[in-house]
Structure 1
Amino acid sequence: MRTAHRWPWSGCTSSSSNRLCPGRRLTRTVFSSGICRAAPKSWTSTLRRRRWRPRLVPRSATAAALIGALLLGEGAPRAGPPDVVTSGKRSLKRRTLSVTDANFNDVQVIHVAGGVPTTVSFRQPIRPESVILADTANVFLPVKASEASIVLIPKRDLGRRSTTTLTVTLADGTIVPLVLATIPREADIGVDVDVALVTRAPAESATALKASAAQLRADLDECRADQGAAGVAKVAGLVLQQDVSQPQVFERHEVGRRDKQERLLVEVRQVYRVFGHSYLLVTLENRDPSRTWVLDHPELSATGGGQSVDVQVVSFQMEPVSLAPNETAKLVVAFRTPPQGSTNSFRLQLLEKNGSRHVKLDGLSL
C-alpha cells in the first residue's frame, strides 16, 4: 500500500510521480490510507500568493547612520606603540621657565607623563650633542634634539622616588640642569626655557656681548660729547704739571719738506713745541687712482754723530683714517722734544697697514 503525501490542497493525493492535480480547486484534505477525501468547508480556503516587497529605509536615516559610524570611528582612541603606556587623566599645559641671576641656583622642574610627548624649547641655541638624559630606569624613548628644542617621550609615569635629570648646554657654554617628575593631575606638553643671565652669563653669551656693546657705545658717545672740553682739560693738566720757575718754550716753525713716494704726495709742514713735547703736522695726498692707503703707525728716529736713536712716539692721529684715491689727509705725530742745542736730524717713516707702500723721509730738521 502506498501512502500519499500531505499536500495543503484538496482533491488529490500525491506521490513522487504526480504532485499536482491540474484543474482542481485547491482545498485542505484529510488523508488516510490510499483515500483522498474533501475537507469540510470551514477548512477550505483559497491560497493567495503574496508578493515580497523590500522594506524601504528613509535616506535621511541611512545618512545619519553612516555619519554616526564615521564619527565613532574618528573619535575612538587609537592604539599607541606597544611600549608606551598612558595612565590617568591629566590636563596638558604649556609653561615658560625663566632662568635668571636670582634663581640660577634653583633647579627647574618639568612635569612628564607616560605616553605624553613633551617639547622643551630654548630661546638661545643649544648644543644638541651635549644633551644628557639620566634615565637609569629606561623610562624614556630615545631623545630627539635639535639646535632649538628637545622632545621627551616617557613610556610610563615616573615613580615618586625616582629622580631623572636633563642637562642641556647652550651654545655660549651655559649649563642648564632640569629635573623631570610626574604629578597626578597635569603634564607639560610644551615648556619654553628662557635663560636671561647678566652677572652670571659667560663672556661669549649674547647677553654679555650686548651689555659690552652698550657700554662701549655709551663711552663713545661720552667721548664725542666731551671731545672739545677734554682737549682743553688735558692742556690745563699739562700746565699744572710744569715748573713755573723754569723757562717754558712755546714755539711753532715751518718745516717745508715735500716728497713723492709710492704714489703718495707727502709734505711735512709745521712743528709745534709746548710743555716738553713736539707735534709734527704732515699732510698726505693719495694719487693712486685705484688703491686706498691706510696708516698702520709712524716711526721716528734721530741721527747724529754717526749714531741713530729711536725716538718714542707718544701719540699720533690721522684724519681721515682711510685715505681714498685723490683725497688728502692730515697726520699729527707727537714725541718728546729733544734737548736744547742738539743738532740731530730726524727720519720719519710712515708704514702702510697690510701693504708695502711705505714712506721714508730722511734729514728732517725739527
Structure 2
Amino acid sequence: MRLGQLAGPILLAVFLAASIAQASDKCDRPKQRSIMLSEHPSDGTHTVYVKGQTLTTLRFEQPVDPSKTKLIGWEGRLEPLTVARNKVILEPIRDLNRDEGLPLVVTLMDGTEVPFLVRPHWSKKDNDWAPIPDQQIDVFKSRNSHASMHSALVDALARNDVLTEENERYRKEETSEDHALAALLASGAVAQTPFTVEDHISGKDPETEMDATVFKGKGKAAVIFRVKNLASEQSWSVQRVRLVTMHSGRDRAAAVRATVREITPGGSGVLAVVADGSAFVDDGVLTSLWLEIYRQDGLRQAFVQLDPALIAR
C-alpha cells in the first residue's frame, strides 16, 4: 500500500497536488451557461470565471460595438480583447490571482451596456467555489426570444438529468453495504466494522496535511483519509474519488463517505473509501488498484496503491 506524489522518486507518505489530470469527465467538457440580463440594480454585474491559456467566449443576441467594449487592467494578464460580430473573446495569458477582478463593459450596437467582472476560476462567490472556468456564456436580453427560451429549456433538461442521476445514486446508496461501512469508518466507528488496520501513511504539502489508514477486510478493503486544510483562504473539498486497475486503467466502483462537504481554512475532515473485492478482479485475475483523490480544482491530491492481499479471507 503506497501513497505518493507525481514528482517524487519514492512513492511513500507524500501528498502533493502536482498532477494536471482532471478529476472527472465533466472537467473535460466545455462549461457553457446562460445569463439573462435584468434591469434590477442588484443583478447588474455578472461574473465571468476564466483560466490561464483557456478561451472564454461571451455570445450575445446582437452585434457588439468593438469601439465601446472595454476591459480594464488587462495588460499583462490577458491578450487584447477580441470582438467578432456578436462575440467577445477573452484569452488570459496566465491564471489571475485570487484577489484580482477586471471590469469588463460590453456595448451592443443598440447602445446597451452590459457590465461583467472577470475573475479567476477559483474565485469564491456566494460561498461556492467555481473550479471549472467558463468557456462559453450566452447572454440574452429578452426572456421571450426563441434563443432565450431554447437555452432555458436546455438548461432545465440538463438540471433534470443531473437530479435524476443523483436521486438514483442516493437510492442505491441507501441500501449499499459498502456505503454503510464507509459511513461507519468516517464517523470513527471502526470497531463496528469487519476491518483491521494494515498500514498507516501520512504526508503534507503547503496547503494540505493528510493521514491515511489502510484497512484489510473479508472480501473488502478500505482507506480512511484524515485531512487538514492548511490554506489561508481556499476551502478544501473532494471533486472526485477514482478507483482504477493499475495495469489496464479500468475504473472500478467505490463507496465514499465524508464527515464534511467542504473543509474551511484551518479545519479538518475525514474521508472514508470502501472497495469491494470484485474491484480487484481484472479479466479473471487479481490485480492491484490505484485509489486517487482529486481536490476541488481538479488536481490529483494523493494516490494509494491497494494490493489484492487486503481482501484475503
Could you say which TM-score interval applies, normalised by the shorter chain? 0.3 to 0.5
Larger radius of gyration: 1
* TM-score, scaled to structure 1: 0.31
* TM-score, scaled to structure 2: 0.35
Higher relative contact order (CA 8 A, sep 6+): 2
